[in-house]
A and B are shown apart, each in its own frame.
Chain A
Amino acid sequence: MTNVLINAPKAAKKGEVIELKALILHPMESGFRPGTNGTIIPRNIIERVVATWNGKEIFRMDFSPAIAANPFVSFFAVAAESGKIAFRWTGDEGFAVEESVAIDVA
């Protein structure tokens, strides 16, 4: 069961600038909200997403509690070579999820 939705073109021309988008299921509990019993719900957020292209980092973003639940991120990348685009999300409570897509660059 994957909780991640990555959208990237399956193929691109070498040198083309492509958009990469990713959604992940996560509550992004800010640590500032009171629960039903009045006590604060402990913080549970994703702190960082790192994207790599064939293992080389191409993008990273550090999150704060102000990033919306089920975080969405999009950015661009120059299509350099065929291979694997991987996203890795890490955060509170040992959260770590990695998901990748294949891309064909010609």
Chain B
Amino acid sequence: MKVSRSKSQSPLTLPERMRWRPALALLPVVFAASFAMAQAGADKSASDTRRSGYQDMGAALQKMQDDDTANPGMLYVQLGEQLWAKPAGAASKACADCHSVADMKGVAARYPAIPENSDRPIDLEGRIQLCRASHQQAERLAPESRDLLSLAAFVARQSRGLPIAPPDDARLAPFRSEGEAIYRRRQGQLNLSCAICHDDNAGKKLAGVTIPQAHPTGYPIYRLEWQALGSLKRRLRNCLVGIRAEAYPYEAVDYVALEVFLMGRAKGMPFEAPGVRP
């Protein structure tokens, strides 16, 4: 499709446009300084080259995330706080009847984890569903439903600033290996693996956007592309669509395995939920 340009405009040639890029590439360096404070308290050494997607965003979006009075994710945190105290299910019990909010500190930075009387890991949303089923005798919440995301956001908010700390549980090892295998496996019509973008080409541009290292530091995130809050699963599904692979069903264990691997890979990085991402 060819679109003609009027003469009054000053069309830039491709090389001219490319000249803008180095200047833009410098922006994250400047913004990295403002992130330094958030990094304090997390056990990251100077040689650690891992970057949160936060560090690749422009100052405007960083500010949007940092300011609780402007972060749209906080709308969901507030809803989650209300749901937390609301009795649900046949047991007519609220989350608050069993847990104090203070006890939620660090929980989201630790999941996925293996619950009692089980041998497979579940993620934070899975934990909420399990509580609903076993303690509240309530129906499952639909994946990506506002209620589930809001509860997850409220719980996740309690871990903000804490280092990501997967449980020291040997039973997680096979799931982490499985997650890593998926991460490194080429798939989809584009025949790409997660690693090709997020390890080998992280920091470079894809469609004008910096490819992040894919550390799940801020989930659930408010993604501007979604204009809503969404889970890590939803983001993984977006990636699968991006490489023209068929997304696994929401219940697939593959996601949890990937999450176990990714949280291990991000161990020690500060948790930011609810994050804001483009």
Q: Number of A residues contacting the other chain (C-beta, 8 Å)? A: 17
Q: Which residues on B sit within 8 Å (CB–CB) of A2?
A: 78, 82
Report whether B74 and A69 are in contact in the complex, using a CB–CB cutoff of 8 Å: no
Please name the residue on chain A nearest to B146 by beta carbon. A25
B76 vs chain A, min Cβ distance (A): 8
Report whether B227 and A69 are in contact in the complex, using a CB–CB cutoff of 8 Å: yes
Report whether A3 and B227 are in contact in the complex, using a CB–CB cutoff of 8 Å: no
Report whether B72 and A72 are in contact in the complex, using a CB–CB cutoff of 8 Å: yes
Provide the bound-state CA to CA distance between A58 and B78, in Å. Answer: 26
Report whether A70 and B75 are in contact in the complex, using a CB–CB cutoff of 8 Å: yes
Report whether A1 and B228 are in contact in the complex, using a CB–CB cutoff of 8 Å: no
Count how many pairs of residues, one from A and one from B, have CB atoms less than 8 Å apart in the complex.
Answer: 35
Report whether A5 and B227 are in contact in the complex, using a CB–CB cutoff of 8 Å: no
Q: Which residues on A sit within 8 Å (CB–CB) of B6?
A: none
Report whether A72 and B70 are in contact in the complex, using a CB–CB cutoff of 8 Å: yes
B184 vs chain A, min Cβ distance (A): 33
A95 vs chain B, min Cβ distance (A): 16
Report whether A1 and B227 are in contact in the complex, using a CB–CB cutoff of 8 Å: no
Q: Which residues 81-98 of B have a CB within 8 angstroms of A?
A: 82-83
Report whether A23 and B82 are in contact in the complex, using a CB–CB cutoff of 8 Å: no
Interface magnitude class on chain B: 10 to 19
Q: Which residues 130-162 of B have a CB within 8 angstroms of A?
A: none
Report whether B227 and A27 are in contact in the complex, using a CB–CB cutoff of 8 Å: yes
A23: contacting residue among B72, B83, B227, B228, CB under 8 A: B72
Q: Which residues on B sit within 8 Å (CB–CB) of A4?
A: 75
Provide the bound-state CA to CA distance between A28 and B83, in Å. Answer: 24
Q: Which residues 65-116 of B have a CB within 8 angstroms of A?
A: 69-70, 72, 74-75, 78-79, 82-83
Report whether B79 and A69 are in contact in the complex, using a CB–CB cutoff of 8 Å: no
Report whether A25 and B69 are in contact in the complex, using a CB–CB cutoff of 8 Å: no
Report whether B79 and A68 are in contact in the complex, using a CB–CB cutoff of 8 Å: no
A21 CB-CB contact with B under 8 Å: yes
Provide the bound-state CA to CA distance between A68 and B74, in Å. Answer: 16
Q: Given the known A-B contacts A1-B82, A23-B70, are A68 and B75 also in contact in the complex, defined by CB atoms under 8 Å?
A: no
A54 CB-CB contact with B under 8 Å: no
A7 CB-CB contact with B under 8 Å: yes
Q: Which residues on B sit within 8 Å (CB–CB) of A72?
A: 70, 72
B68 vs chain A, min Cβ distance (A): 8
Q: Which residues on A sit within 8 Å (CB–CB) of B74?
A: 5, 23
Please name the residue on chain B nearest to A23 by beta carbon. B75
Q: Which residues 10-55 of B have a CB within 8 angstroms of A?
A: none
Q: Given the known A-B contacts A21-B70, A23-B70, are A5 and B82 also in contact in the complex, defined by CB atoms under 8 Å?
A: no
A residues near B, CB below 8 A? 1-5, 7, 21, 23-25, 27-28, 68-70, 72, 74
| A–B complex contacts, Cβ < 8 Å, 5 sampled | A1-B79, A5-B75, A23-B72, A25-B79, A74-B70
